[in-house]
């Protein structure tokens, strides 16, 4: 564990360990997820030979605020805006959702995200528009004060201007395979929250349901482990902690290392967004797979030859996450929920989890 106050790595022996490291949206160029969402827990478990499942089911939120050049966490425009009457329009001002689904702007998240993705590709634009100009200003401010303020801060007056929006990686339905008590496939290792895969979200999570994993399953897991502790803690089998590699807690600053770290991250996000995004096909997935292999080899070489830093570890973990998403998407020979592959547009009758 990195102690942020002392900048030292501390090792702690424990009988039971919970992982609650959150999502992995940072592997994509545009994401609503915070900077910490680098999939560290999933990558660690995969390296430790634990089971990871259904990583291909990445949910894209249809309407993140589009800000040119923004890197990192995109501002989310809640779907409630469309629920209240917001209308999606393309470059020509057409309310295009009626061409995709009879529910128009109120269609489910994945359908709206795919429609926007298609409109952007067809028209060659980086975003579409969300039109709220017909809203009563006072009501909009009352319902969506943060959105109003955010738009205003970047010069968008929602009563006169449309809001530029684009899909962004939002939630990982898959992750570390756990049972109903949060137990992973590794003894005494537990996973809760978004990093876990309980199976609850199936192939396509319903909005606002992350509480199930983050609160309900986490609580169950806590109760289960507490009971074990109350019944007497067995002596740890592993009395020795693993040696810590040479560590640079302040982060890398060597130019050669920084090039590998920053450029590889940029490449990873590009590959994931361009080839492993909302709409996939076999050719794009294979192309992504080859590029990820190169990034992995280069990063491993750096990992073995230099002091370990937080940026390097996060990069390594994110490449692992990219690998797991691509591999799972390649294995799934069907379109189901959030995995849409134009080479297999139909849903298979066989319901199966992809476990790596
Ligand atoms: C903008 C946005 C809006 C959302 N809105 C909703 C909503 O309305 N309803 C809903 O149900 N869900 C919503 N979600 C999803 C939901 O917020 C997340 O799924 C949930 O917060 C995940 O909780 P968690 O505890 O698993 O992870 P997080 O809350 O992300 O916490 C992970 C923690 O792990 C720490 N961490 C990560 N890596 C390491 C490491 N290597 N070492 C040490 N610590 C580490 C992080 O610092 C962080 O504290 C939203 C998500 C986003 C991004």
Summarised one tens digit per residue, pLDDT across range 162-199 is 999 999 999 999 999 999 999 999 999 999 999 999 99
CB of 200 closer than 6 A to ligand 1?
A: no
Residue 159 C-alpha to ligand 1 middle, in angstroms?
33
Architecture of the domain made up of 77-165: Alpha-Beta Complex (3.90)
pLDDT at res. 21: 97
Residue 235 reports pLDDT greater than 70: no
pLDDT confidence band for 240 (50 / 70 / 90):
low
Q: Which of 29, 109, 205, 336 is catalytic?
A: 109
Which of 147, 194, 200, 208 for a ligand 1 pocket mutation test, highest count of atoms within 8 Å of Cβ? Answer: 194
CB of 174 closer than 6 A to ligand 1?
A: no
pLDDT at res. 13: 82
CATH class of residue range 255-341: mainly alpha
pLDDT at res. 259: 83
What pTM, to 2 d.p., does this model score?
Answer: 0.92
**What percentage of the chain carries pLDDT values higher than 90?**
74
Residue 246 reports pLDDT greater than 90: no
Cα 238 from Cα 179, distance rounded (Å): 24
Beta-strand ranges (E) seen in the chain are 2-3, 8-9, 17-19, 52-53, 58-65, 87-89, 128-131, 163-172, 175-177, 189-191, 196-197, 279-280, 340-341
Residue 193 C-alpha to ligand 1 middle, in angstroms?
8
> What residue spans define the domains of the chain?
77-165, 255-341
CB of 215 closer than 6 A to ligand 1?
A: no
pLDDT at res. 71: 78
Angle at 24 between CA 19 and CA 30, to 5 degrees: 160
């Amino acid at each position: 564990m990195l102690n942020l106050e002392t900048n030292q790595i501390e090792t702690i022996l424990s009988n039971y360990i919970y992982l609650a490291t959150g999502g992995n949206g940072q592997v994509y160029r545009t994401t609503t997820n915070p900077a910490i969402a680098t999939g560290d827990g999933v990558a660690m478990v995969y390296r430790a030979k634990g089971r990871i499942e259904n990583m291909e089911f990445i949910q894209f939120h249809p309407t993140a605020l589009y800000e040119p050049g923004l890197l990192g966490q995109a501002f989310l425009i809640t779907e409630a805006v469309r629920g209240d009457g917001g209308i999606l329009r393309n470059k020509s001002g057409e309310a295009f959702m009626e061409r995709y689904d009879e529910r128009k702007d109120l269609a489910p998240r994945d359908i709206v995200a795919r429609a926007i993705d298609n409109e952007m590709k067809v028209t060659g634009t980086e975003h579409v528009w969300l039109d709220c100009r017909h809203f009563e200003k006072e009501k909009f401010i009352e319902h969506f004060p943060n959105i109003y303020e955010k738009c205003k801060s970047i010069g968008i007056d929602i009563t006169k201007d449309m809001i530029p929006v684009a899909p962004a990686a939002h939630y990982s339905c898959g992750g570390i395979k756990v049972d109903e008590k949060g137990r992973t496939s590794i003894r005494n290792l537990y996973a809760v929250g978004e990093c876990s895969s309980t199976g609850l979200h199936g192939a396509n999570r319903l909005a606002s349901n992350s509480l199930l994993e983050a609160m309900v399953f986490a609580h169950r897991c806590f109760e289960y482990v507490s009971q074990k502790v109350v019944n007497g803690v067995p002596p740890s089998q592993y009395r020795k902690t693993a040696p810590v590699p040479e560590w640079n807690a302040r982060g890398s600053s060597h130019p050669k290392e920084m090039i590998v770290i920053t450029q590889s991250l940029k490449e990873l996000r590009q590959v994931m967004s361009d080839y492993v995004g909302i709409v996939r096909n076999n050719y794009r997935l294979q192309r992504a797979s080859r590029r990820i292999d190169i990034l992995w080899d280069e990063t491993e070489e750096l990992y073995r030859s230099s002091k370990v830093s937080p940026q390097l570890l996060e990069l390594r973990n994110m490449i692992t996450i990219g690998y797991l998403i691509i591999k799972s998407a390649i294995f799934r020979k069907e379109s189901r929920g959030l995995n849409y592959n134009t080479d297999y547009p139909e849903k298979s009758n066989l319901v199966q989890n992809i476990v790596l």
